[in-house]
Amino acid sequence: MNIEEISAKLSWLPPSVSRFIEKRMKKIPSVKKMIDAENEKTMQVLEHSSKPYANKFEKHYALPSSGISRDRILDEIKTMSDLESGRWKDGYVSGGIYHGDNEHIEFLNKVYALQSQSNPLHSDLFPSASKFEAEVISMVANMHGKGTFDHNKNVCGAITSGGTESILCAMKSYRDRAREERGITEPEMVMPLTAHAAFDKAAQYFGIKQVKIPFTADYTVDVKAVKRAINNNTIVIVGSAPSFPHGTFDDIKALSDLALKNKIGFHTDCCLGGFVVPFAEKLGYNVPVVDFRLPGVTSMSVDTHKYGYAAKGTSVVLYRDEELRSHQFFTSTDWPGGLYFSPTLAGSRPGALSASCWAALLSMGEEGYLRATKSILETADKIKAGIKEIPEIKILGNPVWILAFASDTINIYEVLDQMGKKNWNLNGLHKPACFHIALTLRHTQPGVAERFLRDLKESVAHVKANPGSKEGLAPVYGLASSLPFRGIISDILKKYLDVIYKV
């Protein structure tokens, strides 16, 4: 019996029982041998896909005895850059590169070069960093309701390295506030099953129990189940606007009302939507209010390095007031090295990224973001219409511009593999089995949407005619989607990280 057959027989078990059985099974020599064989097979596939330069460039295991010429180093970097840029420049990649225009990139690179030595940790030495960051935070806060009512006038925030750090900072703030003000020592967060994995990371890092709520038929969180899950240890409720997997919007207003009524925090994860939703609303699209105009919203995460078109990696975490934000800050007052304080998880940070973020927002302006949002949403509408002509494929839920595709009749992961052979880099998902495309400005280029639909039709036709492929990543995705033993999948992912750091 192989892993897939074991999975099928035990898939009905609850997770806690599956974990218990898994631990026992790992101690049985024959089962351990089978698991190791599956891991080895999976690693061969993953290593092949992640190490394309294995035999193309010289490997450096230690410092060279004398320095290599800068021209040679630059040539090698350029060669790799040229090999990698074709897919995203031509619009074959889901998300990843959100702007990608050469002039925009060159402009941000010039800004970065001018500020390459800046470090916000040393605000006395680089006061420009404070200007850039404060103004970015203010611009983003004003996009999301700051000042619309008297109780919104104190909305504030901080610059982080990305959406994950924004979420980590917010969850730490809720944990520390609840401990200080309410004496909660066993904190819980109530969150959608579809919420970003960064909340899982925050729970693991900061000792917060997760209460995960399933989604309904429209792929949004079950609000009634959220209400039942709230208890005396609940410190925060989470909602996505939109969610990463399916691009759907949780009912932020209903969740905000629940948080307000129960006097607990509410975090809108708007990492993906932060620079789309405000402008979609102004363009007249049917998008919900998800920000500080809702009185129960107490924090938000908004990624400037996605649809804000800043360089990777910057994000903004917003708070309703400075009191809540203060729980994010770190201070050390009795260190022999002097007084130490920092606003986020990092100490030293690249001020050049904050400067280029500031420059991106100013150069785009409201008009630029409106134009970009209109192009992306029109492209999404075109693809949605085209999907109706492929009966084997369906779009999950009611998304706006992040579209997840599933099928009731064919193996969707085999379709994903076929799209990969046509040069597409898309996101494979599970629970349910599907894949998605996060549409960006790269996809608004002439002919890209039509090419996507044409390639998708051809991929579906190929899978219908040739089902049951054992090649590519389809078996890996299938295993990850169906196996009840999540520890085995975790082991595979850790081994994959080992591969990534292998010279």
pLDDT above 70: residue 21: no
pLDDT at 6: 52
Amino acid in position 498 = D
Q: Beta 427-429 vs 434-438: how paired, if at all?
A: antiparallel
Amino acid in position 107 = F
- Residue 499 — very low, low, confident or very high, per pLDDT cuts 50/70/90? confident
| Cα–Cα distance measured from residue 475 to residue 478, given in angstroms and rounded to the nearest whole number | 5
pLDDT digits (tens, 9 = 90+) for 342-360: 999 999 999 999 999 999 9
pLDDT digits (tens, 9 = 90+) for 454-471: 999 999 999 999 988 766
Share of the chain above pLDDT 70, in %: 86
- Residue 114 — very low, low, confident or very high, per pLDDT cuts 50/70/90? very high
DSSP states of 381-414 as a string?
A: HHHHHHHTT-TT-EE-S--SSEEEEE-SSS-HHH
pLDDT digits (tens, 9 = 90+) for 118-131: 999 998 999 999 99
Residue owning tokens 């800046």: 118
* Among 95-109, 141-155, 253-267, 343-357, the least confident range: 141-155
Mean pLDDT, rounded, for 30-59 = 71
- Residue 328 — very low, low, confident or very high, per pLDDT cuts 50/70/90? very high
- Residue 243 — very low, low, confident or very high, per pLDDT cuts 50/70/90? very high
Q: Does the pTM of the predicted model rise above 0.85?
A: yes
Q: What CATH architecture is 114-361? A: 3-Layer(aba) Sandwich (3.40)
pLDDT digits (tens, 9 = 90+) for 145-175: 998 888 889 999 999 999 999 999 999 999 9
pLDDT above 60: residue 485: no
DSSP states of 78-119 as a string?
A: HHHHHHHHHHHHTT-BSSS-S---HHHHHHHHHHHHHTTT--
pLDDT at 431: 85
DSSP SS3 for 338: coil
* Among 49-53, 159-163, 258-262, 279-283, the least confident range: 49-53
The domains of the chain are located at 3-50+477-500, 114-361
pLDDT above 70: residue 13: no
Q: Sheet containing 434-438: which strands, arranged edge to edge?
A: 394-395, 402-406, 434-438, 427-429
pLDDT at 145: 94
Amino acid in position 69 = S
Backbone angles phi, psi at 405, to 5 degrees: -115, 135
Mean pLDDT over the full length of the chain: 90
A 10 A CB-CB count for 267 gives 30
DSSP SS3 for 262: helix
- Residue 440 — very low, low, confident or very high, per pLDDT cuts 50/70/90? very high
Residue 340 carries which DSSP code? E
- Residue 55 — very low, low, confident or very high, per pLDDT cuts 50/70/90? confident
* Among 19-28, 40-49, 322-331, the least confident range: 19-28
pLDDT above 90: residue 284: yes
**Beta-bridge mates of residue 343:** none
Residues 6+ apart with CB under 8 A from 243: 192, 194, 195, 196, 219, 220, 249, 250
| Cα–Cα distance measured from residue 64 to residue 58, given in angstroms and rounded to the nearest whole number | 12
pLDDT at 16: 58
**Beta-bridge mates of residue 331:** 341
pLDDT digits (tens, 9 = 90+) for 377-423: 999 999 999 999 999 999 999 999 999 999 999 999 999 999 999 99
Residue 444 carries which DSSP code? G
Q: Beta 209-213 vs 434-438: how paired, if at all?
A: unpaired
pLDDT at 442: 97
- Beta carbons of 218 and 250 less than 8 angstroms apart: no
| Cα–Cα distance measured from residue 138 to residue 304, given in angstroms and rounded to the nearest whole number | 13
pLDDT at 41: 66
- Beta carbons of 467 and 418 less than 8 angstroms apart: no
Residue 443 carries which DSSP code? G
| Cα–Cα distance measured from residue 439 to residue 93, given in angstroms and rounded to the nearest whole number | 9
pLDDT above 90: residue 106: yes
pLDDT at 34: 61
- Residue 54 — very low, low, confident or very high, per pLDDT cuts 50/70/90? confident
Per DSSP (E only), the strands in 184-276 are: 188-192, 209-213, 234-240, 265-269
Q: Beta 340-342 vs 330-332: how paired, if at all?
A: antiparallel
pLDDT above 70: residue 474: no
Q: Is the dihedral of CA 316, 318, 322, 326 positive or negative?
A: negative
pLDDT above 80: residue 484: no
Q: Beta 427-429 vs 394-395: how paired, if at all?
A: unpaired
Bigger pLDDT: 99 vs 480: 99
pLDDT at 497: 79
Mean pLDDT, rounded, for 85-102 = 93
pLDDT above 90: residue 476: no
pLDDT at 346: 94
